Structure 1
Amino acid sequence: MNAIRTSVFVGVLLACVATLGWALNFIAPYVTGDYSLYDLMAVRFLEVGVLGVGGVILCRAQLKWLSPRQRWLAAALGAAGCLAYGVCISAGVMFGGPVLTPACVGMVPVLLALVGNARNKAVAWGRLAAPLACLTLGLLLSNISSLHQPALSAVSWLAGVFFSLSAVALWLGFSVINQKHLTTLPATATGLWTALMLVGAGGTALCLLPLLCAFNLLRLPTLGFGFAQAGALYAWSLIIALMSTVVGAWAWNAATRRLPMVLSGQLIALESLFATLLGLWFHGRGPSLMEATGLAAVLIGVVMAVRIILTGTKPAATRDTDGSAEDDPQHRLTCTHRDL
């Protein structure tokens, strides 16, 4: 039991690291300087691809554990869950402002909790009501200030909604598919799986470069590639690439193996929390009373979810009437605890 609890706590810590890294996706529109968002995203994901190639080389001994189909799947997940998700997040912030996109992404923990518990019931639905309600209320309170922001044009607002909801859809699909396949892989293949995701994101970005150039969306060719002109762009691209993509992907994959989806889904709420705090920092102000109350409610909801899952790891309280341990959280955690 102690080993299982330790596994859950480590998983929670890793999930916090991943969500903090992912929150850096939301600052991309604020750090481009004279360059465009396309420049930042192109440089970032090309760097990600290079890091991924390095990871594959370091983990080449693990290639025997993955079939060709699994390698392509990992690359496709990277293209969708890293590149496409990052682009949608940045575009949502650019078109809809700093509040709309975090608010939409804040729906992910609630949706994943419902999907996860429906697919593999870890706790009774009644026990999830309080943390889900707390999370939902907190996310609404922390983002309701958007009603008082200067009005956006209808086209810009619709574009922000489209990209924000696209990010939600991409993340839901990524989470479900990634968790399903991670639990079937040997623990030794986790590093390679993550590296292949990075290669997929970087390879897709490389394939898109001719299209970006054809539509004159990149400012690097005109403003200059030198460090004197683009040094800040390179630095921010590398920071976001390392933290949001590399560290975030590794930490989430490691956390996924240790946590049932119903808990990992709750912890994704921290991404919205961190994104809101970073957005406020870039705007040079602190949270209002309503925003602070909402952020506190999010944290309370996450803590409640963790305690409920930890309490639910008692086998005696969760076994089926026929004595089977198949749906026991302890059994699931033991079976999925194959990470590094």
Structure 2
Amino acid sequence: MWIGTLYALAAGLLWGLVFVGPLLLPEYPGALQSVARYLAFGLIALPLAWMDRRGLAQLSRADWIEALKLAAIGNLLYYLFLASAIQRAGGPLPTMIIGTLPVVIAVCANLRDGGRDGHLPWLRLAPSLVLIAAGIACVNQVELAALHADESADRGRYLLGAVLAVAAVACWTWYPLRNADWLRAHPGRSPRVWATAQGVATLPLALAGYSVLWGGMAVSGADFSMPFGPRPAFFIGLMFAIGLLASWLGTLCWNQASQRLPTALVGQLIVFETLAALAYAFILRGQWPASLTLAGIALLVVGVISALRVKPQAPVQAAV
């Protein structure tokens, strides 16, 4: 139990790094950070693809098309929205919004698959949803107060950041549901091979995205030194670090935790990612969170954990 919990903590600390990149590279467009991160991850996935080459060879054309869709929306588009949101609204609010993902996914699954997997009782979910909304509102209030105190702050930019964070949640709500559909439809296929296939599919998409960005900046005459920007060594190193530590090692640690802990407990421990990302954001700011921010974080954590404790009711069997 303790080893599994430590693995989950390590995964959260590593996954929290994806929220740091946009803060450390504010002058780099979110789109460039997204394609660069997954270009690095795709290159890291190539040795794994060689190890799983027999399983990959069994995938059909339709399977590879599905892997491309999952990679495009769950990887590239998700991180594009997330990085852009953090650059516009700062770290805390987008992190809090992303922190609702476990509950948003559960609610969407409840709406879509309740007849198959069992319904989550809405009345039991309601208190948790209220806690989560209150937590986000608390953090939003603190961030808005800071904006009002700064006459040069762009409130429209902050609002756009919040909208982009919601779009990121939408992408990563679609991804696990669609991914689970494929795994259910192919029970004889290896989940590891399927994960590797998505990593491989990410590589050509990231290459194409990088090329389009490079060409678009050249045509528009953008004042940005492609291909690696004004800090090439730091940019390349950070993208490979995030690709290796967050995308690969973080997932490996999470899988180790999932093998050792009950599924219900693992779902609750995903809050480690949110807490780590918030801690990194305030460390980079060089300040301690305000008391209202701490209260909002506590409300979010309690809301997510309490929501994940709600058990689905078994689906009613149709009468024969």
**TM-score, normalized by the shorter chain, greater than 0.5:** yes
Note if contact 1:191-1:250 (Cα within 8 Å) is conserved in structure 2: no
Equivalent residue number for residue 145 of structure 1: 142
Residue 240 of structure 2 aligns to a residue whose secondary structure is: helix
**Percent of residue pairs identical:** 24
Matches within 5 A, 1:116-127: 116-118=109-111, 119=113, 120-121=117-118, 123-127=120-124
Structure 1 pair 19–72 and aligned structure 2 pair: CA distance change class (3 A): farther
Query: What CA deviation, in whole Å up to 9, does each residue of 1:194-252 have, x standing for no partner?
Result: 1222222221120122222223365245867xxxx633222211121123323455667
What's the CA shift for 1:174?
1.0
RMSD: 3.8
Is residue 2:36 matched to residue 1:30? Answer: no
Alpha-carbon distance in structure 1 between the residues aligned to 2:71 and 2:51: 18
Query: What CA deviation, in whole Å up to 9, does each residue of 1:293-329 have, x standing for no partner?
Result: 22223333344345544xx7xxxxx6678799xxxxx
What's the CA shift for 1:125?
3.3
Equivalent residue number for residue 159 of structure 1: 160
Deviates more, 1:47-56 or 1:84-93: 47-56
Equivalent residue number for residue 81 of structure 2: 88
TM-score between both structures, scaled by the size of structure 1: 0.72
Structure 1 pair 172–254 and aligned structure 2 pair: CA distance change class (3 A): farther
Alpha-carbon distance in structure 1 between the residues aligned to 2:240 and 2:181: 30
Alpha-carbon distance in structure 1 between the residues aligned to 2:250 and 2:289: 26
Note if contact 1:106-1:272 (Cα within 8 Å) is conserved in structure 2: yes
Is residue 2:62 matched to residue 1:69? Answer: yes
Note if contact 1:137-1:294 (Cα within 8 Å) is conserved in structure 2: yes
Query: What CA deviation, in whole Å up to 9, does each residue of 1:40-66 have, x standing for no partner?
Result: 444322211112222221111222553
Structure 1 pair 93–153 and aligned structure 2 pair: CA distance change class (3 A): same
Is residue 2:177 matched to residue 1:180? Answer: no
What's the CA shift for 1:92?
0.9
Residue 91 of structure 2 aligns to a residue whose secondary structure is: helix
1:139 maps to amino acid: I
Equivalent residue number for residue 49 of structure 1: 42
Equivalent residue number for residue 131 of structure 1: 128
Note if contact 2:32-2:213 (Cα within 8 Å) is conserved in structure 1: no
Equivalent residue number for residue 213 of structure 2: 212
Note if contact 1:142-1:294 (Cα within 8 Å) is conserved in structure 2: yes
Note if contact 1:127-1:308 (Cα within 8 Å) is conserved in structure 2: yes
Q: Which runs of 5+ in 2 are unaligned?
A: none
Equivalent residue number for residue 290 of structure 1: 292
Q: Which runs of 5+ in 1 are unaligned?
A: 1-5, 313-317, 325-340
Residue 110 of structure 1 aligns to a residue whose secondary structure is: helix
Query: What CA deviation, in whole Å up to 9, does each residue of 1:100-149 have, x standing for no partner?
Result: 32243244333222222332325433333343333333333344311212
Structure 1 pair 93–320 and aligned structure 2 pair: CA distance change class (3 A): closer
Residue 147 of structure 2 aligns to a residue whose secondary structure is: coil
Residue 215 of structure 1 aligns to a residue whose secondary structure is: helix
Structure number with the bigger relative contact order (C-alpha 8 A, sep ≥ 6) is 2
1:214 maps to amino acid: G
Note if contact 1:19-1:270 (Cα within 8 Å) is conserved in structure 2: yes
Alpha-carbon distance in structure 1 between the residues aligned to 2:109 and 2:258: 12
Aligned residue pairs total 304
